[in-house]
Structure 1
């Protein structure tokens, strides 16, 4: 069973939902009316945080699950938590200033790469056996 990976998946989705709520909150606070996609620096940064998180989910989630299936639930979940921490650090930094997003971005990229490369390596090893 993959209970830990399932929990991390749900946490990642909850974090994404949080970013969507934050965009809505800042839309109201800054007066950026729908359907505008920009208009106030605080809103613009919140929107980019949400979109960047969405852009990474199709990379992160399949890699997370393939890693869990081919390598192990606990290790996958641990790397998934690192990815979420990276997204949180990204959120906090980018919310303050665009220049402060780098550390969080690097953490989540590293976690996603470990998951993707681990899954790829495990699949290839099974193919050549």
Structure 2
């Protein structure tokens, strides 16, 4: 479970970093809160942060349920796949949103596998 805890911390710190990126982009673009439009780069960075938050609502519970009832090493590995997928997604989305598929698919597959294995572990 130490591995899963470590991966959880990585994911939380990654999200905090994405939040900091939003603040920096907002400042650089001169966009005052609560506005969320007006600069394309800022909007892309904000979307990365918001999409990551949406994904974490699936990833974190699935990660821990999978770890507890199925396999902590598998869960931790899928958490790392999700983490790397988010990095790829971030870089691609900020550069050109049409190129974000690889990172998004990595995270999606990791989440599906975590969920399926969590259900399997709980049921069987």
Give TM-score, length-normalised by structure 1: 0.94
Aligned pairs, number: 124
Name the larger-Rg structure.
1
Aligned to 2:58: 59
Matches of 2:81 and 2:114, distance apart in 1: 11
1:65: Cα distance to partner?
A: 0.2
The runs of at least 4 aligned residues of structure 1 exceeding 6 Å deviation read none
Aligned-pair CA distance for 1:122: 1.5
Distance in 2, matches of 1:57 and 1:40, equals: 26
Which ranges of structure 1 fall in alignment gaps of 5 or more residues?
A: none
Question: TM-score if structure 2 supplies the norm length?
Answer: 0.97
RMSD across aligned positions (CA): 0.7
In structure 2, how many angstroms separate the alpha carbons of the residues matched to 1:54 and 1:102?
Answer: 18
Cα offset for 1:71?
Answer: 1.4
